[in-house]
Amino acid sequence: MHIFTFFRKSFFKRLFILAPACCFSYVCGLGAIISGIVYDESDKPVEYASVRLSSEDSKYIKGGVSTEKGVYFIDGLENGKYIISFSCVGYESRSIPFEISNDNNLNLNVNLKTTHTSLDEVVVTGDRFIRTADGLKIYPDKQQKKHSGSGFDLINNLMIPGVSVDVAKGSVRAFGGSVAIYIDGMKSDYREMQQLRPEDVESVQYMEAPTGKYAGDNASINIILKKRTSGGYVSIDALQRLGYLNGDYNLAARYYNKNTQYTLYGGIDYNKINGNRLDKQETILFPLEPIDRNYATAGSRMSNNNQYAQFRIRNKNDRRTLRATFNFLRNATPEDFTSYMLTYSGNTIGNRRVDASQNTVTRNYQYNLGLSGNFKLSHNQMIDASASATASRNHYDYCYTENNEAAMSNTLENLYNFQGNINYIKNFNNSNSLTIKLFELFNVSSADYRGTNSSWQHLWTSETILFAEYARQLWGIASLRLTPGMSAQVYRQHGHDRVSKFGPRAQIVFTLKPARNQFIQLNGSYGNSYPELSYMNGATQQVDMIQQKKGNPNLKQTKLTTAMGVYGIGFKRLNLQAMLLYNGADDLPLPSYFIEKDMLVQTFDGNGIWRQLNGSLSATWTPSNIFNMQAGGGYMYNRYSRVADLSAACWYATLSANIYLKDFAIFLRGATPQKAVSLELETVKTIWQYSISATWSKGPFRAEVGFNNPFLKHPYYDMNILLPVYNSSSRRYSKTDSQSAYLKLSYYFDFGKKTKHDKVNIDKTINSGILKAN
């Protein structure tokens, strides 16, 4: 481990020294330069226009893409005659002859005329991805949009190299972390993406090295919608699943009045699942005598339901965008019941069999008001600001029984949250920029615990992050991002002293584009994070007759380290991406077990160490507009130490294919099992995952039918915990992983002029600081 760490630090140190030096030696031999700005007919910059340089006899020499401000730059020109061509979707192409003499640089601005062709009528051929200064610009074709039922579907169907999408869970990941999603430059969430109408998408920006307002994101996707100023729409969709009872029903309405949009969303979903199973064997190493317990599930049933509503107003003009959102969310689990045949065994107690059961009931309500705005101070300065206030009321009831004994907890929590964010962005010449970002998160949790262990817990926390990012373009083929910063956390648990923690943050990203279709990115970062509210709770929860769970108000600040190298290359129909990623965390809060007064106590130890190494390769192949395929795979190694010494490694692979047949489409997905150690210090081996679905889309009607794991009747997850005082081996079966089918229907109705169709923008997760027994 020490050798690897030394090699990693030494390698990246030398690499960051040598890379600029190599680029400088390359630049010293540059010839003349042609540069300028690509405008539209109204003298507004055209972003991501393709620029192609040819010889006088039309032989291709080199090319590039204009920046977000329309700037293009081509160097290395010898004296002679050339032709420069400009093209962009939605504009007429234009070619201009010019001549370089006496090695003089040339400044050439150009205006492109708009066409009357709708983007939906464009058939994308050749390169599907246009490489830009910070990532990719993508224009979804008509088939991809037609056969996508949500924003997640669309991103999945685009098959962006290195990006993985879990449509069912609504997660998008790249470079080993989550991808931040924006719509028209404003932060989106699960429900908005889930209900976004892909037909209204104009283009998609994928930022591998986010800058400006996106600074601080691991990676970003900005979905740009078509502009509308009048009319409106009403849309409905319904999903029903077979195999286990699950339904999801949504209604959305939007009205446009010039620069103002009014949107109303609402919906419900529910689950009712019987027959889940958990069989577990565990050993508790008490000092006098170990005790073995064997759980065999006798029966289980679970039901939950969610309701939400949202009202949003957005007003936009050329100088600023304002948005106000009010959300209401309720979720409830009326029953989560499991009964066991539980067998105790030991030298003294012998074998003793009892009937055991546990049941959890939750009810949660959340109200949220959010305000956000983008303000253009000048042509090269902008402020982006947002603030939201949330009030939640959380009920948590837990009951565990063995024969005539019971452990109970009835908890009521009031949780208040304020979140604020302000960004200042200044753009300089040559596409350089400076971003200053300030983020504040303030929580107040007040919880009343009643039952076997009664207590009153009051905790407030304040987390502040401040950083500045300077992004500089280097020599037209590279860029460098430097991001120094700091973070601070102040919190106080009732009955304890106030705690203040401060820590530095830093990131450096070097991106090199040796050719139009290639990029290399080197990324190193150091940061920190703070424990979850429930981890720092001072409460005690009784799990069963001989086990308790406690929080730890004295956890440390976790220090995070990342190093990453990425290489991507794109051909006409094939795009490849290779990645090597290292993640490290020190002082990580991990579960810790100890014996106290004949009880096994689980708490959290803030001295954990985690290391991860991940190497992966992703390929996207699009031989035609009818068939697209993406494959990926790699090797992943995880290790935890200090609190516990555990490690796991595995090879993994994924495969997806899309077949488009006019009004019909077929989608195939598959993933191999993986083995990893979770944050609960549980070694988990997952199952094969595969699915097939088909869609039919015609005008405002869309139907989708799908089958998940159609040949897996009883898939099991194997899980193990091996710690000094506690060992367990378990096998879990869930109906949600077994064979199931679903049918989804949707319909929309437009009134007035043609409008874009977003749907619901609600995250159905309600935060809680309650320490839970299960």
CA-derived radius of gyration, the chain: 28
Rounded-to-integer distance, Cα 425 and Cα 471, Å: 11
Nearest to 735 by CA among 722, 716, 757: 716
Task: Take residue 191 and report the two structure tokens written for it.
Answer: 């429900």
Task: Take residue 234 and report the two structure tokens written for it.
Answer: 């009403």
Rounded-to-integer distance, Cα 449 and Cα 456, Å: 6
CATH number, domain 33-117: 2.60.40.1120
pLDDT value at position 198? 85
pLDDT value at position 772? 65
395 alpha-carbon distance from chain centroid: 28
Residue intervals in the chain for CATH 2.40.170.20:
232-751
Count of residues making up the chain: 774
| Distance, first Cα to last Cα, the chain | 35
Residues (pLDDT < 50) of the chain are 1-29, 116-126, 754-762
CB 733 within 8 A of CB 718: no
Rounded-to-integer distance, Cα 479 and Cα 73, Å: 14
CB 644 within 8 A of CB 666: no
Q: Does domain 119-227 have CATH number 3.20.20.220?
A: no
What is the CB neighbour count within 10 angstroms for residue 677?
21
pLDDT value at position 126? 41
The SS3 of residue 142 is helix
pLDDT value at position 484? 96
Residue intervals in the chain for CATH 2.170.130.10:
119-227
For residues 508, 509, 514 and 520, what is the CA-based torsion angle, rounded to 10 degrees? 120
Exposed e or buried b per residue across 238-277, where buried means at least 16 C-beta atoms within 10 angstroms of its C-beta: ebebebbebebebbbbbbbeeeebebebbbebebebeebb
Residue intervals in the chain for CATH 2.60.40.1120:
33-117
pLDDT value at position 212? 79
pLDDT value at position 122? 40
Rounded-to-integer distance, Cα 470 and Cα 28, Å: 24
What is the CB neighbour count within 10 angstroms for residue 642?
14
Nearest to 738 by CA among 713, 719, 755: 713
Rounded-to-integer distance, Cα 476 and Cα 34, Å: 11
User: Going by C-beta distance under 8 Å and a sequence separation of 6 or more, which residues neighbour residue 143?
Assistant: 625, 660, 665
pLDDT value at position 133? 67
User: Going by C-beta distance under 8 Å and a sequence separation of 6 or more, which residues neighbour residue 375?
Assistant: 319, 320, 382, 383, 384, 385
Rounded-to-integer distance, Cα 327 and Cα 264, Å: 10
Q: Sign (positive/negative) of CA torsion 619, 128, 167, 523?
A: positive
Q: What is the 3-state secondary structure (H, E, C) of 372-386?
A: EEEEEEECCEEEEEE
Residue 452's φ and ψ, nearest 5 degrees, are -60, -40
pLDDT value at position 715? 87
For domain 232-751, give the fold: Maltoporin; Chain A (2.40.170)
What is the CB neighbour count within 10 angstroms for residue 495?
11
